[in-house]
Amino acid sequence: MPFVLLYLVVEILALVAVGSVIGVGWTLVLLLAAAVLGVWLARREGVRALQAIGEAVANRRMPAAELTDGLLVAVGGLLFLIPGLVTDLAGLLLVLPPTRSFIRRRVLRAAEQRTGLRTVHIHGGEIVEGEVVDDGRGSGPGTGRAVEGPGRATDDGLAPPDARAS
């Protein structure tokens, strides 16, 4: 309940401040224009988020960022439906891609800290079929654990099969 009262006070103060500078008529026009523009932006970005989710699924990868973007756009769209300048500004921050990207990273970081889970990002690389074997010298880096499979062993891992000829 205190949050709702605080929201109402902040929203009224914002409307009075803007109305005293540009006038009541222009303030109403600004509210209407912000709502129309916001709903249009939310729809456009929502469709983009859905397309990105579909593309991620089609590429067989987890659409974590895309799902978070979709959620942020939905919340931003809801904020546009609540009358007021402060909610329109908050909705705009959630719908615009640059600010949404920043907010998404913050939300994901907070969720990771709260749950104790971490997100692992793997960029590029080549998947090599093989199995880990132990040659009896112990465990750990440089102590005998090797990957057996197609290719040859190198200092930094397993060379692809086409590099064996060198």
What pLDDT digit, counting tens, does each position of 15-46 carry?
A: 999 999 999 999 999 999 998 999 999 999 99
Q: What's the confidence (pLDDT) of residue 164? A: 46
Per DSSP, 162 falls in state G
Q: What's the confidence (pLDDT) of residue 55? A: 94
| Nearest alpha carbon to residue 40 among 116, 91, 101 | 91
Are both 63 and 108 inside the same structural domain? yes
Q: Which are the contacts of 108, defined by CB distance < 8 A and separation ≥ 6? A: 64, 65, 68, 119
Are both 39 and 111 inside the same structural domain? yes
Are both 111 and 69 inside the same structural domain? yes
Is 125 contained in some domain?
no
Is 4 contained in some domain?
no
How far apart are the C-alpha atoms of 20 and 87, rounded to whole Å?
19
Domain count, the chain: 2
| Predicted model pTM | 0.66
Is 54 contained in some domain?
yes
Are both 71 and 151 inside the same structural domain? no
Q: What's the confidence (pLDDT) of residue 11? A: 93
Task: Using the predicted structure, report yes or no on whether residue 129 has a pLDDT greater than 80.
Answer: no
Q: pLDDT over 90 for what percent of the chain?
A: 53
Mean pLDDT of 95-114: 90
SS3 of 158, please?
strand
Residue range(s) defining the domain that contains residue 67:
9-115
Token pair 């932006």 is found at 41
Between 157 and 97, name the one with better pLDDT.
97
